[in-house]
Structure 1
Amino acid sequence: MYLPDLKSSAKEPNKMIDTVKGADCVPFAVQLKALLEQECRYQPKLCGLRILESAHENGLRMTAKLRDIEVKDLLSLTRFFGFSAETFSLTVNLLDRFLAVMKIQPKHLSCVGLCCFYIAVKSAEEEKSVPLASDLIRISQNRFTVSDMMRMEKIILEKLYWKVKAPTALHFLRLYYSYIRELLAAEGKHVPNVERLEAQLKACHCSFGFSKVKASLLALAILALEMHEQHLHEMTEPLQSLQQHSNVKDGDLFCVRELVAKCLTEYSSTKCSKPSSQKLRWIISGRTARQLKRSYYKIDHLPTIPEATS
């Protein structure tokens, strides 16, 4: 399990990082700097997460386990509507940030989770794709009302100071991937599968432990694990350069990489993949059904992570 020493990295990738352009034709270094500057402002408060982590299950207090169950349900809901990975990652960010500043009772978690999902949908999806709040409540089989949901949404936004468009781990993962892809493609080398990487990130979002990890570090750890497990030695120098410019220490990257590996193993296990008692059951109106993709009528397990391709 080898992590390269930054001091021995080649200089060429460090020169390239200032010139590689992203999808929006903005220099990569400018995009990365902007994300890193915003990152800390949108990270869940560590002290609040530790309180949640230390809570015991007694039916009266929120726990990390309840949080994970809710996030898995929200992942199913995301797939049900065919919404983007950006919507799911933003949902998790909003939920974790809120849980880190507010002590809520377990009975209110479903309302909080659905409101975070609704806020993310309205922020990340096209307006025509945004469902009615009443349909969301019916589909997720919750018993609160639209008025309850609107009040909770206002509370969430106020507690988060209306800061919705957060730089998530998905933003970092996609930016890092675009940098690596351009370098490797220019040299005719193998480029990792981005869908597989994003699926791995979704799996990590379902584990509370990664709520305490900075978005940039989590994204780098996923890339580092892919490089390690698939023996993609051509990624070594680009990854070193990204690590250096993101101010990530070798020890931190190694530690989180191992946590990601453990998480993905557990996520892919039979125990994790089977439907739990918390599985969403869909009850929808004919009008809602006509708006949904046929392939999302039944979601009975967590999505699988694509195999690596050579």
Structure 2
Amino acid sequence: MKDLGTENLAGGEGVQLLGLLSFYLEQEQRFQPREKGLSLIEATPENDNTLCSRLRNAKVEDLRSLANFFGSCTETFVLAVNILDRFLALMKVKPKHLSCIGVCCFLLAAGIVEEECNIPCVHDVIRISQCKCTASDIKRMEKIISEKLHYELEATTALNFLHLYHTIVLCHTSERKDILSLDKLEAQLKACHCRLVFSKAKPSILALCLLNLEVETLKSVELLETLLHVKKHSKINDTEFFYWRELVSKCLAEYSSPECCKPDLKKLVWIVSRRTAQNLHNSYYSVPELPTIPEGGCLDESESEDSCEDMSCGEESLSSSPPCDQECTFFFDFKVAQTLCFPS
């Protein structure tokens, strides 16, 4: 196995990869949440007036759902979590403000990462998240978050390291290029981000732990040797590495267990009050005038139901004008849910 030194990577691409790795390593500490602030949140008991780790973790789950709902990329979610944790580790936040802060972190991250055409509308995010704040509230809170973080919102995250490590490993292996699923690794990273403790880990270490555990399941000696060289080049000591590797392993084991609820890819049922339903834009519950016509012949009953996206129930509920204390149910044909799905 060749060393990852520059002299063995004179082919241009290797030099660029190592240069980028060195840059990420220099930047990672700058964008890490303050450990003292995170520890304070962890130590806070649950009550109505203080922010605890359970509320933070629940908010990150909401961010993941928002990212899935609007089709945002993993980078948007990871950056939103980074912005959220950096802000929470600096400021004393009351639980009642957490929803507004979470939405702002998502919008700030989307504005940095996503193409302009893919950035969600503020009003749409407010409606879907049901954060009970106005567009003006969002604008003011975005200003506060940006100022407290000195307008340094674009950060070096564990996802940056994960993608880079993945590229380096594949450049130095004779194995099939599809042997390491980046989608699966990203899903596992999302699982870790849903727990506050992993915000204390250096992004370089967290990413390497995920990749190391996945390579071990593949039982590839060549890939493992490459990772050892990456670990050495990143100057990651064994004590830190094995400490976080154990925590990551436990986290992934819990997410993979039968006790952990996972989405079954059925249609997501969104239940809202009548008042909320009346405030929704028409496009959220409109039904296409004509169902999709298949090319190969007659439309059976099951295909007919799917073609209308199961949204007729929502229309009936609206037209029947239920009492205020009843709820209207809307069905959306989404392949996402509140829980994590590991790619097969």
Shared topology, TM-score over 0.5?
Answer: yes
CA distance in 2, matches of 1:104, 1:215: 25
Question: Residue 240 of structure 2: which of 252, 261, 282 is its match?
Answer: 252
Question: Residue 107 of structure 1: which of 89, 96, 120 is its match?
Answer: 96
Question: Residue 145 of structure 2: which of 141, 153, 156 is its match?
Answer: 156
Stretches of structure 2 that go unaligned for 5 or more consecutive residues are: 264-268, 287-308, 310-331
User: What's the secondary structure of 1:306's corresponding residue?
Assistant: coil
Q: Provide the TM-score with structure 1 as the length reference.
A: 0.85
| AA partner of residue 213 (structure 1) | A
CA distance in 2, matches of 1:262, 1:102: 30
Q: CA deviation at 1:29?
A: 1.2
The answer to which of 257-266 and 85-94 deviates more is 257-266
- 8 Å CA contact 1:199, 1:306 repeated in 2: yes
Report the CA distance shift for 1:52/1:69 in structure 2 as closer, same or farther (over 3 A): same
Q: CA deviation at 1:223?
A: 0.8
Question: Residue 139 of structure 1: which of 128, 135, 138 is its match?
Answer: 128
The correspondence of residues 159-198 of structure 1 with structure 2, limited to 5 A, is: 159-185=148-174, 191-198=179-186
Report the CA distance shift for 1:190/1:271 in structure 2 as closer, same or farther (over 3 A): closer
CA distance in 1, matches of 2:113, 2:333: 19
CA distance in 1, matches of 2:248, 2:104: 28
Q: CA deviation at 1:281?
A: 5.5
Find the counterpart in structure 2 of residue 300 from structure 1: 337
CA deviation string 1:29-76 (max 9, x = no partner): 110111111111100011111111110001111011111000011101
- 8 Å CA contact 2:4, 2:233 repeated in 1: no
Find the counterpart in structure 1 of residue 3 from structure 2: 12
- 8 Å CA contact 1:17, 1:28 repeated in 2: no
Find the counterpart in structure 1 of residue 281 from structure 2: 285
CA distance in 2, matches of 1:280, 1:221: 36
Find the counterpart in structure 2 of residue 239 from structure 1: 227
CA distance in 2, matches of 1:98, 1:153: 11
Stretches of structure 1 that go unaligned for 5 or more consecutive residues are: 1-9
- 8 Å CA contact 1:98, 1:159 repeated in 2: yes
Matched, 1:273 2:273: no
CA distance in 1, matches of 2:207, 2:270: 29
Compute the RMSD of aligned alpha carbons. Answer: 2.5
Find the counterpart in structure 2 of residue 61 from structure 1: 50
CA deviation string 1:68-123 (max 9, x = no partner): 00001110111111110000110010001000000100111111111000000000
Query: If you compute each CA radius of gyration, which structure gives the higher value, 1 or 2?
Result: 2
Question: Whose helix proportion is higher, 1 or 2?
Answer: 1
Find the counterpart in structure 1 of residue 26 from structure 2: 37
Q: CA deviation at 1:191?
A: 3.1
CA distance in 2, matches of 1:285, 1:298: 22
Question: Residue 76 of structure 2: which of 73, 83, 87 is its match?
Answer: 87
User: What's the secondary structure of 1:184's corresponding residue?
Assistant: coil
Matched, 1:118 2:107: yes
- 8 Å CA contact 2:35, 2:89 repeated in 1: yes
Find the counterpart in structure 2 of residue 221 from structure 1: 209
The correspondence of residues 191-206 of structure 1 with structure 2, limited to 5 A, is: 191-206=179-194
CA distance in 2, matches of 1:51, 1:280: 35
CA distance in 1, matches of 2:17, 2:53: 36
- 8 Å CA contact 1:205, 1:211 repeated in 2: yes
Report the CA distance shift for 1:94/1:281 in structure 2 as closer, same or farther (over 3 A): farther
CA distance in 2, matches of 1:110, 1:20: 49
- 8 Å CA contact 1:71, 1:205 repeated in 2: yes
Q: CA deviation at 1:26?
A: 6.8
Q: Provide the TM-score with structure 2 as the length reference.
A: 0.77
Question: Residue 249 of structure 2: which of 250, 258, 261 is its match?
Answer: 261
RCO comparison, higher one (Cα < 8 Å, 6+): 1
Q: CA deviation at 1:271?
A: 4.7
CA distance in 1, matches of 2:142, 2:212: 37
- 8 Å CA contact 1:19, 1:29 repeated in 2: no
Q: Calculate percent identity across the aligned residue pairs.
A: 44
User: What's the secondary structure of 1:264's corresponding residue?
Assistant: helix
Report the CA distance shift for 1:274/1:303 in structure 2 as closer, same or farther (over 3 A): closer
